[in-house]
Structure 1
């Protein structure tokens, strides 16, 4: 029978439980608890602390304590609280019980919890230790094979499966893992073979390219520096990976099917701060051929309508060692790099209007030589 508390307080059952919250209050009594709290405060929960002390009494044998922690870990595992399960299994292992079967189970269970957390390397180490304690422990072998599969150790996964199937030839999980690992191993080996073939082809391509550059006596500066140092003519000492282009399109110098060099070339128009880019400038093509295409229609920035192909002169923009030498290029000759310096894989040329005030001022302090 419920009683009404003084002053309109919520009614309480005889024995002190509140009618509206009796279920929650009952949950705080150890005898009626359905779930143990994650942490026990001895000051606020003395009954639980006492029970915990009795449960894990140090007078118990290491085997008993290890088994209790194993059961606790299993409960956490069922609740999918894998982090706490790992901690429980670890505490059980710390008891150093002399039962190899129990030790193997604790290690295998911890491996399963670690795997659920994505810690496959730690899980594999536990599986390896479990097998040392009990080589025939099939669950440890299954767990190790799965970890090897996740870590892409396909050969090792197959080996573990083969060893486990000697114990139980019908173990379904091992048969599945072996089939999957074998397939992935074949794919990996195929990809490695293909990569080696491509690497050899790329190496041959680069060597042919360097031979062509050396044959043409082209001077190459891999990375611009303040001193504009020239790379030695001994191109054999030049890194094959050093030939690259920093242009936005990623175009690179290459040999075509006829064995001719094609260069990415950047055109600069300093007077108007404009640029043009040619991804593949054939070495036998004349500058005038490209200028005729680029200026077939006058660009919108040429308000004075003076950038006509026949009205332009082109200059090599790359300094030589004295840093004050510029070469003016005859537009009617083929693109001949034999007397140029190339930086970072991309020749750069400047175009000006002939005899314009801007051109005269630009070159007034520079030594100019016609190429």
Structure 2
């Protein structure tokens, strides 16, 4: 039992304690924030730990990853740290933590399989599907029946559009657990996508086959009409292929007609050729493009439409009337000029002995009759009359 003197001393101490302010106390208005900064109560670990600024946290980290602890204990700590980063969606940091865990070389195969699978999940969320797949393959080498690794591998194959492989991985997982919902859903999705892929491939093959047949039919029609191409096909053994290459030597995109429909020679329902035709006006540096010029159509019929009541804005002298135009083509080999009657058909012009179709697009030059530009231009050329 305390003496009166001892009671007096205790009372004096308590009075002094009550009057003295505790310097480390939480502030009334910010106590929750200060409480969250205590290492053991942290909800989110800082990205970088500075021992000088966070000595308590640095001490706690050193305890967690003490070199004196077993590799398995350290690996598990890194796994837990990686899981925390993963929950925060800081996948890059999570990958680093899982990698450090694997570097501990723990003999616990199940733990290592989990580290590989978790790292694969982080890689997957970063879009690194190939790296994620490598990790789940490594996980399955350690634990073949690890369902999470199998599901993650199936998802990786799905993202990489390897639908057959995704189905195979799902089937392997369903052998372990036939009722695993995620595997069933992933397999159904992969199967649907694989069927769509096969259907698209069949359509593409049929389309290629149809286009090839159409190309061969066009080439046959060109041969029958004795129309010549430039450059001339040089490989007799593969004459059809060479002609096809010549027809497609230059795309219309290079001539500025990328939005023009029907920019390739084709056959109509009656087996007649329809050509894309280019008209050149050297006097003004202008061009006209007709996407579908029937081989039996006359030049004058198109010119009447092109130069009817409304003349082109570049014809400042108003001299480019349909009845006042002269039509020419240039021999691609000799560079000599040949005049074509505007009353003739396109086929008649293409069958001229010195006409060569270049890049699958017949081209013709137009001048206003007896214009000073026309006379000057032709004065430097050798002009022939097409038959």
TM-score normalized by the length of structure 1: 0.86
Q: Is the 8 A contact 1:219 1:231 kept in 2?
A: no
Q: Tell me how far apart the structure 1 counterparts of residues 39 and 173 of structure 2 sit (CA, whole Å).
A: 45
Residue 244 of structure 2 is matched in structure 1 by 240
Per-residue deviation at 1:158? 1.1
Number of positions where the alignment pairs a residue of Structure 1 with one of Structure 2: 351
1:182 aligns with 2:191: yes
Q: Quickly say closer, same or farther: Cα 1:241–1:92, change in 2 above 3 A.
A: farther
Post-superposition offset of 1:292: 2.6
- Alignment partner, residue 341 of structure 2: 330
CA distance, structure 2, for counterparts of residue 163 and residue 239 of structure 1: 52
- Structure with larger Rg: 2
Unaligned runs of 5+ in 2: 1-19
Matched, 1:208 2:217: yes
Q: CA deviation at 1:142?
A: 1.4
Distance 1:31 1:149, change over 3 A: closer
Note the alpha carbon deviations across 1:154-203, whole angstroms, 9 max, x for none.
Answer: 11111111111111111111111111111111111111111111111111
User: Hey, what's the Cα distance between the residues in 1 that align with 2:317 and 2:147?
Assistant: 87
Query: Aligned partners of 2:307 and 2:45: how far apart in 1?
Result: 83
Give secondary structure in 2 for the equivalent of 1:265.
strand
1:101 alignment partner in structure 2 = 110
Partner of residue 9, structure 2: none
Q: CA RMSD in A?
A: 2.5
2:16 aligns with: none
Distance 1:306 1:34 in 2: 85
Bigger mean CA offset, 268-277 vs 351-360: 268-277
Give the equivalent residue in structure 1 for 2:63. 54
Evaluate the alpha carbon distance shift between residue 84 and residue 305 of structure 1 in structure 2; reply closer, same or farther with a 3 A threshold: closer
Which has a greater percent of helix? 2
2:170 to 147, 158, 161: 161
Q: Distance in 2 between matches of 1:110 and 1:96?
A: 16
2: CA distance between counterparts of 1:309 and 1:276? 14
Aligned residue number for residue 12 of structure 2: none
1:309 to 316, 322, 345: 322
Cα deviation, residue 118, structure 1: 2.1
The aligned residue for residue 283 of structure 1 is 295
Residues 15 and 305 from structure 1, CA distance in 2 versus in 1: closer, same or farther, beyond 3 angstroms?
closer
Q: How many angstroms apart in 2 are the aligned matches of 1:137 and 1:212?
A: 64
Bigger CA drift: 334-343 or 298-307? 298-307
Normalised by the length of structure 2, the TM-score is 0.82
SS at match of 1:169: coil
